Structure 1
Amino acid sequence: MNDIREVEVVVVGAGQAGLAGAYHLRRTGYAPDRDFVVLDHSPGPGGAWQFRWPSLTYGKVHGMHALPGMELTGADPARPSSEVISAYFASYERAFDLRVHRPVDVRAVREGPGGRLLVETSADTWATRALINATGTWDRPFWPRYPGQETFRGRQVHTAHYPGPEAFAGLRVVVVGGGASGTQHLLELAPYAAATTWVTRRPPIFREGPFDEDAGRAAVALVEERVRQGLPPRSVVSVTGLPLNDAVRQGLADGVLDRQPMFDRITPDGVEWNDGRQVPADVILWATGFRPAVDHLAPLRLREPGGGIRVDGTRAVADPRVHLVGYGPSASTIGANRAGRAAVRDIRRLLADPTAPILEPAERAARDERTESAERAAPAESAA
């Protein structure tokens, strides 16, 4: 085993959720590399954004919410989002002196001596009193399995490795998935491809007009209820539907977004339905989403029979030392910010008095409202 180093809190992941948690630890008096440490396995700043395809420019990004305490200003909308957001995250880490350790792979989190958790990594082993897990989903692309998949003579590509539209020039492409990535890929590659076919398990829901706050809260509540029951989380967009913007309207009018039901099998030369219909394909592009990257938590046995980790707020119900930020209802940029703050509040309380009872959801909501009111009345903190 590597040398064991002790801290109060370990933050795993330096995407939006991890940096939000680290910011709130710093703001409340915790010192980096003394009281807490941030571990990230990526080669550089930017979280999952650094791996996005080059054609996803900053102007095409929907709902990028600034990190707490520092706005993203003056970004060129024509510049790749991977470059813009990676540079922003790098500036943020420097501004708040978060001292992210990278590249560090967290291999396992297990029970340690003295009531601490042992975080085993490719570098050191950390003994910590609390853990903020902010590992997101990018490292676990979901590949559905269909009969005949192994016989397909063409290429199969997942969103995680999408190379940009030029790679599909002159090819027949089947795009699988009804989320934001699926529609963006389809609209982008259609002018290059010889033919496109769009298939989804469920008919897509396009949302007309602005998405108001009440609807947003209702959508998040549905996802939150799943994780509270220990079920695998669904994405918020699966509940809210897709925005009906100008590009989507044009795609519907042109017939590019002509959704077909999910095929029943894959053949060597394409896909096939039970009614005998066949579509030839050179490429199957799986825009089928991701699953939470939480395998390193397996030694703690947090998973419920339903397949997910039961979470109340951000706290793992099975172990109050573990907080999952960017998981389920907080898997959005604004949700990650709020969850990072909430996790730090609970962790501070736990570390101050490990025997104190955990608040019930109603008590937690009332407490958070009082704290947020106080914070709104306080002067804003700047990174300058």
Structure 2
Amino acid sequence: MSRSTQVVVIGGGQAGLAAGYHLRRLGLDFVVLDAQAAPGGAWQHVWDSLRLFSPAAYSSLPGRLMPPQPGEIHPDAQHVVDYLTDYEKRYELPVERPVRVAGVHRDGGRLRVETDSGTWRARAVISATGTWWRPFLPAVPGRAAFEGRQLHAAEYRSPAELADRRVIVVGGGNSGAQIAADLAYDTTLTWVTRRPPRFLADDIDGRALFDAATARRRALDEGRSDTGGVASLGDIVAVPPVREARDLGLLKAEPMFGRLVPDGVAWADGTRAEADTVIWCTGFRPALSHLAPLGLRGPRGRIAVTGTQSVDEPRLHLLGYGDWTGPASATLIGVGRPARDAARRIANLVGRTRRAGQAGGGAIVSSLPIAASTDGSTR
């Protein structure tokens, strides 16, 4: 089955929904293809204790403030899932799920999106698949020799599954600190980091991080000196659980070990720590395999962009992968502005294409009118 529309958005998480909001406001025909079986994107899969860095009002997508969570200053992940579910319904975004995209191909004047439920042909594509689906594991000597359990942060859920175990948490960023704090009370914990942990001041939250990322991008765009952005403030936001464990002296980081051994880890000086479980809080990489047929990836696996627009394939926009596709674009509060910019550029592109088609004697008509493409449900 082959269908056509003006824009295909790949990914139905926060970035894909923000894109859909702006595409709808501009009156474009579009569809959002989401690989997940339910709304909420990656927030459905995070660990149980995860909290937002900011109050709800400062963690909102365009057009709709996130309501506060009763009894909580920093909402939990389920509250975010509920918000995204409501957002999708409120704006009647045409989401189809579960749909897995196999590849995006050039097809004359359109881009062809091959999926497990058919083919879409579009004037433009927004890739908004994020990074959660590509956990990164470093090449540490002895990793294959370790006889215990190894998890990435993406697989961790709660301390209950590791109670009374000897656990090593690897990573000095937010996920490492939050998971270490989560485990500090019920396990024998060793927290290791490549450099001493850098906690942000206790009064800094997601609002300040967004402002820092935006100021850095503005400085770079204007040819001024790099402000350092979020990295200049520190590596770890001191959310309440992290602050509590830190102040109790439970978050004492050890330097990175040299290798894993069958029953734990070993440092270069011969020191060892026994472990049943190693949790790798070592980050993620952009999930871009569906774009491989376009041949756009360069150094470090990234695609060259101007704003969100691919330099070598202007019909493609990338949204929500981090600062390289818009300041703080991997956050709820930060994705709205680059989503708006992407939608405007696509509207200009589609408008030029339509005028060219009309000049040649034929108007371009989408087979997916927005009004007929959704009944308001979260399909």
One of 64, 73, 82 as aligned partner of 1:70: 64
Please give the alpha-carbon distance, in whole angstroms, between the structure 2 residues aligned to 1:224 and 1:332: 21
1:206 and 2:203 correspond: no
CA distance 1:91–1:244, shift in 2 (3 Å): closer
Please give the alpha-carbon distance, in whole angstroms, between the structure 2 residues aligned to 1:50 and 1:244: 23
Residues 21 and 91 in structure 2, CA contact (< 8 A), matched pair in contact too = yes
1:46 and 2:40 correspond: yes
1:90 and 2:88 correspond: no
Q: Which position in structure 2 is the counterpart of 1:120?
A: 114
Secondary structure of the corresponding residue to residue 268 of structure 2: coil
In the alignment, residue 177 of structure 2 is paired with which amino acid?
A: T
In the alignment, residue 53 of structure 2 is paired with which amino acid?
A: H
Please give the alpha-carbon distance, in whole angstroms, between the structure 2 residues aligned to 1:269 and 1:224: 50
Residues 184-222 of structure 1 show CA distances to partners (whole Å, capped at 9, x for unaligned) of 1111111110x2111112332212143377534345569
One of 255, 276, 288 as aligned partner of 1:261: 255
212-221 or 316-325, which deviates more = 212-221
Secondary structure of the corresponding residue to residue 108 of structure 1: strand
Please give the alpha-carbon distance, in whole angstroms, between the structure 2 residues aligned to 1:142 and 1:150: 16
Please give the alpha-carbon distance, in whole angstroms, between the structure 2 residues aligned to 1:222 and 1:278: 46
Please give the alpha-carbon distance, in whole angstroms, between the structure 2 residues aligned to 1:52 and 1:223: 33
Residues 176 and 288 in structure 1, CA contact (< 8 A), matched pair in contact too = yes
1:291 and 2:285 correspond: yes
Q: CA deviation at 1:69?
A: 1.2
Please give the alpha-carbon distance, in whole angstroms, between the structure 1 residues aligned to 2:231 and 2:353: 37
One of 214, 218, 232 as aligned partner of 1:217: 214
CA distance 1:355–1:304, shift in 2 (3 Å): farther
Residues 62-110 of structure 1 show CA distances to partners (whole Å, capped at 9, x for unaligned) of 1362121112214235698343222222211111111210000011001
Root-mean-square deviation (CA), in Å? 2.6
Please give the alpha-carbon distance, in whole angstroms, between the structure 2 residues aligned to 1:136 and 1:267: 33
Q: CA deviation at 1:253?
A: 3.5
Secondary structure of the corresponding residue to residue 334 of structure 1: coil
CA distance 1:75–1:151, shift in 2 (3 Å): same
Q: Which position in structure 1 is the counterpart of 2:27?
A: 29
Please give the alpha-carbon distance, in whole angstroms, between the structure 2 residues aligned to 1:255 and 1:100: 47
CA distance 1:300–1:243, shift in 2 (3 Å): same
Please give the alpha-carbon distance, in whole angstroms, between the structure 2 residues aligned to 1:54 and 1:245: 15
One of 101, 105, 114 as aligned partner of 2:100: 105
Please give the alpha-carbon distance, in whole angstroms, between the structure 2 residues aligned to 1:224 and 1:46: 33
Please give the alpha-carbon distance, in whole angstroms, between the structure 2 residues aligned to 1:139 and 1:80: 23
Q: Which position in structure 1 is the counterpart of 2:4?
A: 6
Instruction: Count matched residues.
Output: 336
Residues 179 and 238 in structure 1, CA contact (< 8 A), matched pair in contact too = no
Please give the alpha-carbon distance, in whole angstroms, between the structure 2 residues aligned to 1:224 and 1:136: 24
Residues 209 and 230 in structure 2, CA contact (< 8 A), matched pair in contact too = no
Residues 28-82 of structure 1 show CA distances to partners (whole Å, capped at 9, x for unaligned) of 112xxxx2111000010001111122233xxx32136212111221423569834
In the alignment, residue 102 of structure 1 is paired with which amino acid?
A: R
Which consecutive residues of structure 2, in runs of 5 or more, have no partner in the other structure?
A: 223-227, 324-328, 356-379
In the alignment, residue 292 of structure 1 is paired with which amino acid?
A: P
In the alignment, residue 212 of structure 2 is paired with which amino acid?
A: A
Q: CA deviation at 1:340?
A: 0.8
Residues 226-259 of structure 1 show CA distances to partners (whole Å, capped at 9, x for unaligned) of xxxxxxxxx9765642233554344334332211
Secondary structure of the corresponding residue to residue 319 of structure 1: coil
Secondary structure of the corresponding residue to residue 5 of structure 1: strand
Q: Which position in structure 2 is the counterpart of 1:350?
A: 349
Residues 223 and 328 in structure 1, CA contact (< 8 A), matched pair in contact too = no
Q: CA deviation at 1:17?
A: 0.7
Please give the alpha-carbon distance, in whole angstroms, between the structure 2 residues aligned to 1:152 and 1:273: 15
CA distance 1:315–1:174, shift in 2 (3 Å): same
329-338 or 313-322, which deviates more = 329-338
1:186 and 2:188 correspond: no
In the alignment, residue 62 of structure 1 is paired with which amino acid?
A: F
Q: Which position in structure 2 is the counterpart of 1:382?
A: none
Q: CA deviation at 1:303?
A: 0.8
Q: Which position in structure 2 is the counterpart of 1:340?
A: 339
| % identical equivalent positions | 47
Please give the alpha-carbon distance, in whole angstroms, between the structure 2 residues aligned to 1:175 and 1:144: 14
| TM norm structure 2 | 0.82
313-322 or 246-255, which deviates more = 246-255
Please give the alpha-carbon distance, in whole angstroms, between the structure 2 residues aligned to 1:269 and 1:245: 33
Residues 215 and 229 in structure 2, CA contact (< 8 A), matched pair in contact too = no
Q: CA deviation at 1:283?
A: 0.6
Residues 224 and 328 in structure 1, CA contact (< 8 A), matched pair in contact too = no
Q: Which position in structure 1 is the counterpart of 2:330?
A: 331
Q: Which position in structure 2 is the counterpart of 1:229?
A: none
Residues 16 and 337 in structure 1, CA contact (< 8 A), matched pair in contact too = no
Please give the alpha-carbon distance, in whole angstroms, between the structure 2 residues aligned to 1:213 and 1:83: 22
Residues 178 and 241 in structure 2, CA contact (< 8 A), matched pair in contact too = no
Residues 54 and 80 in structure 1, CA contact (< 8 A), matched pair in contact too = no
| TM norm structure 1 | 0.81
Q: Which position in structure 2 is the counterpart of 1:363?
A: none
CA distance 1:250–1:291, shift in 2 (3 Å): same
